[in-house]
Amino acid sequence: MSLHDTTQTKILDAAEFLFAERGFAETSLRTITGRAKVNLASVNYHFGSKKSLIQAVFDRFLQEFTAQLSSHLDQLEREPAEELQAETLLSALIDPLLSLNTTRNNAVSIFMRLLGRAYAETQGHLRRYVTERYGHVLVRFTHLFQKGYPELSNDQIFWRLHYMLGSLIFTLAGSDALRQISEADFNRSLEVKDVIQEMVPFLAAGMKA
Amino acid sequence: MSLHDTTQTKILDAAEFLFAERGFAETSLRTITGRAKVNLASVNYHFGSKKSLIQAVFDRFLQEFTAQLSSHLDQLEREPAEELQAETLLSALIDPLLSLNTTRNNAVSIFMRLLGRAYAETQGHLRRYVTERYGHVLVRFTHLFQKGYPELSNDQIFWRLHYMLGSLIFTLAGSDALRQISEADFNRSLEVKDVIQEMVPFLAAGMKA
DNA sequence: GTATGTTTCAAACAAGTGTTTTACTGTGCC
DNA sequence: GGCACAGTAAAACACTTGTTTGAAACATAC
């Protein structure tokens, strides 16, 4: 049996779609197993619990994303400070996203919606889990910005990075709906790639402000 | 009995706090009525259903907010185009937020977290309810930006407005946690007011880019 | 004070949840 | 063939959910 047709990946595929679409609590295991066309008990058999399934969904996305981001950061950390323009740094974030989208359909939108939901879980374990496991990549990213823009104070960079993340997550999480509105109003068809590229000047100008 | 101690407002107060903190599905009516110190059945008696309670929570916030925003827009719509700088337009959005925060403690953070959750409900009724009932104010806001920045295309403005909303909602929704991190890392205590003001240069630069 | 309409209360209801159990199926190994 | 074992299947479990019920308490009017 191919790796892409195992029960585990069928569950993961169905779960990540439904979690992004409706949220974690609003998605029952019966809905997931129904969509994945597997038995209800197989979730607990393969993943242990619903909570662990949620973490597994995040892990599959974040491992692929942070691996790519990390190799971009490796490269940037060897560059001199004057090469670290906001646009260059942004592409270290954007390239892995675009690559995600070519691997799987609509992956960026799903990924960002999941991130938005994890972020909303202020008191939940999920946010802590994600930041503890993948937070170090964000720290490296922050240091590169400090190196590229020494005239900005550390907390200015801290906050502006979060403004940027807000724009990215918020816009890309809703990009499906927004693209439809945009096409209806302006008769201009947009790909996710275009939406992302369109954001770069906005974000870069803000970072340099 | 004072207006602020009625069963209905006690329920609304408890509900808006818990909805913002945990989400709609994750908050049971028993948790709400427990916190509000009222009987379980009173929610269905006064509001009809849980769904209607959620809408009522949004109405209370949005009525106060859009009323203030609307009067700002009335004033701006009488100004000549050259007065419509990004910073000026932003203050039409920010002033009502700050005024919300003086009326009730931490209201901005709660309000923004609720908005973020409503936005995440891509397929749910809530997002449709909010946009249908309060969307016209956003349209007026868009027109003012088009008037102030005629060199930008309509869909550029459309998208940048959403980038801006993303930053605002995302940052302010997490402002409690972010402020704690910021204080720990940089020994600088920040009020919500400071966080908002700090965003203005970033957002304005992006809009003008 | 009695009658009327409104609000509160405890209890119960049906439906849906995550999880566990138990039996069954297939597969590879000796 | 027989055996151990990973995976699947259906059913049941204990529990929580939103909602409804019917009686009690309260307020208001005449």
The full DSSP string for B15-28 is HHHHHHHH-STTS-
Q: pLDDT tens-digit profile of A64-120?
A: 999 999 999 999 999 999 999 999 999 999 999 999 999 888 899 999 999 999 888
Query: Does the pLDDT value for residue B3 go beyond 80?
Result: no
Secondary structure of residue B6 in the 3-state scheme: coil
Residue A120: which of B23, B124, B162 has the nearest Cβ? B23
Q: pLDDT tens-digit profile of A123-135?
A: 667 778 888 888 8
Q: pTM for the complete prediction?
A: 0.91
For residue A18, what are its two tokens? 């439904």
Would you call B202 and A167 a contact, using CB atoms and an 8 Å cutoff?
no
Residue B14 is predicted with a pLDDT of: 97
Query: Does the pLDDT value for residue A121 go beyond 80?
Result: no
Would you call A165 and B170 a contact, using CB atoms and an 8 Å cutoff?
yes
What is the DSSP track for A122-177? SSSHHHHHHHHHHHHHHHHHHHHHHHH-TTS-HHHHHHHHHHHHHHHHHHHHTHHH
Q: Residue B154 and residue A183: Cα distance in Å, rounded?
A: 12
- A27, A122, A151, A161: which to substitute to probe chain B, counting the most B Cβ within 10 Å? A122
Residue A206: which of B171, B177, B203 has the nearest Cβ? B203
Residues B16/B61, Cβ–Cβ less than 8 Å: yes
Residues B15/B61, Cβ–Cβ less than 8 Å: no
Nearest-by-CA chain A residue for B201 = A209
For residue A90, what are its two tokens? 């942004």
Report the Cα–Cα distance between both ends of chain A, in Å, rounded.
Answer: 54
For chain B, the average pLDDT equals: 91
